[in-house]
Structure 1
């Protein structure tokens, strides 16, 4: 089997050569915007929306790459074609993840002494890999067990809202620390996920998905100044409207999880919609009735039951 191909700054290269230098600002500062997209039955799904967000995020933090969202779509299609992915016959049980990222590029004073200095321009990369069904299977099978972690010390919270939560970036140290803390808990389960909690006790999101809550039969979502307003979350909003489910956006305090939250759901590109079976130690119906309605509406919209696809293809845990 030949080596997979990736895209890096204008060229398709073998995956092993898709590397950024130690002088790249994406490595030095973590100044990277990113996107995760997937195929549906082997075809790019909703990639235009993902590409438009990446372009918006890049320019909002000063990464002036010149490619348009249409350019990114063409690169993604070519990437899948060059890897022979669009011609696979097993797309009902096998999907692909596509990662796109952009950085401001090399830091000039890191490379000033080099004879062959890298070109000072933004770095744009894209690669793909099999969607890891086994990663999501425990969550879909058993329902997510959400454990509140935070605030992460000594970082606390970033002051002054310096990083817009609507920008999908690669500064993931807080998630790494939350996961390390979760691993130390004796009650951790294979389907446990950390949900970050602010210094005021409000819940935000997980590393892999947004969390929505059902309170008084209303789909309640943390406001966009606290979470990533993801592409899949936008779909869920429109699904709720089509289903006649009331929607509310407001901060959710951890105390509400004990007696007010009727059900909760995870919303993410990789798996669509997943139920939550336990929220901060409180058992919840999995999936609850509103979650089930949204799951069915999502299946009808895209013509694929993502949950069942993953459960059928991945080993049970």
Structure 2
């Protein structure tokens, strides 16, 4: 069951207009919520980010934040979703193709559920990555539909037989194709500052809170690809990847090539936030 244009509908009954600006301009925003035990995880933080993205790209939300929450809760119930994700997309609406914002188009909200198991194997065994130049636009803090550079980066990873790409701007690590990245060196946790160059990840924020509660030394400070390769531990954070260690980058092993102890501690603490 999906939600589209004020209705709960089967997928086959949804017909998206070719005049939808999300289709021909990528003119829209989105949010992905994790669902644990039938409940939206970090709902307030996700809603705040959705609201901020809408405001920054000047799309008026078709419903209040509270109403969107009610819609998503009902959607979870109708789909009997226990563990998975809820995808929400809001486009500027339908209008003949022209670059200026249409005067009378009404924003369109689409939402649906997907059963997605926790990435337990990847979290336990770790993943491999390569580095690539970050060629995205300069508002990566907004969760918009303009994801072609991200999809190309993810495909590049798969073409190289690895699972993720570490993006950098002139050697300064930003994030990954679909996740944030953190490294630990000498018991200090580093991650890129939450500015316009990275998405302000919800899981990233949770991990930073957990690290501080564990009295870890945390620095929101940019680091280079060279420093990354010399890290004691490296991991990515995200709604669907949770906290997943990276054990190899560009064919070079990180430390001893095993998930690090601080990463594993954070994984256990993260699980306690929804268990």
Match in the other structure for 2:130: 147
Q: Aligned Cα RMSD in Å?
A: 2.0
Q: 2:13 aligns with which of 17, 24, 27?
A: 17
Match in the other structure for 1:36: 32
Deviations 1:164-209 (A, max 9, x none): 2221112111012223333443xx24xx2112222x1122222332
How far apart in 2 are the matches of 1:139 and 1:16?
A: 33
- Please report how far the alpha carbon of residue 138 of structure 1 lies from its aligned counterpart in structure 2 after TM superposition: 5.2
Alignment of 1:1-317 (within 5 A): 5-85=1-81, 91=82, 95-108=83-96, 120-131=105-116, 136=119, 139-151=122-134, 156-158=135-137, 161=138, 164-185=139-160, 188-189=161-162, 192-198=163-169, 200-225=170-195, 226-259=197-230, 261-284=231-254, 285-303=257-275
Aligned residues: 267
How far apart in 2 are the matches of 1:183 and 1:17?
A: 34
How far apart in 2 are the matches of 1:208 and 1:78?
A: 27
- Please report how far the alpha carbon of residue 64 of structure 1 lies from its aligned counterpart in structure 2 after TM superposition: 0.8
Larger Rg: 1
Residue pair 1:108, 1:120 contacting (<8 A) in 2 also: no
Deviating runs (4+, > 4 A) in structure 1?
none
Residue pair 1:33, 1:170 contacting (<8 A) in 2 also: yes
User: Which runs of no fewer than 5 residues in structure 1 stay unpaired?
Assistant: 86-90, 111-118, 304-317
User: Which runs of no fewer than 5 residues in structure 2 stay unpaired?
Assistant: 99-103
Residue pair 2:150, 2:177 contacting (<8 A) in 1 also: yes
How far apart in 2 are the matches of 1:256 and 1:299?
A: 29
> Which piece of structure 1 moves more, 26-35 or 200-209?
200-209
Residue pair 1:55, 1:68 contacting (<8 A) in 2 also: no
Question: What secondary structure sits across from 2:2 in the alignment?
Answer: strand
Q: Which has the higher strand share?
A: 2
* TM-score between the two structures when normalised by the length of structure 2: 0.89
- Please report how far the alpha carbon of residue 35 of structure 1 lies from its aligned counterpart in structure 2 after TM superposition: 0.8
How far apart in 2 are the matches of 1:131 and 1:97?
A: 6
Residue pair 2:129, 2:157 contacting (<8 A) in 1 also: no
* TM-score between the two structures when normalised by the length of structure 1: 0.78
Change (3 A) 1:19 1:35: farther
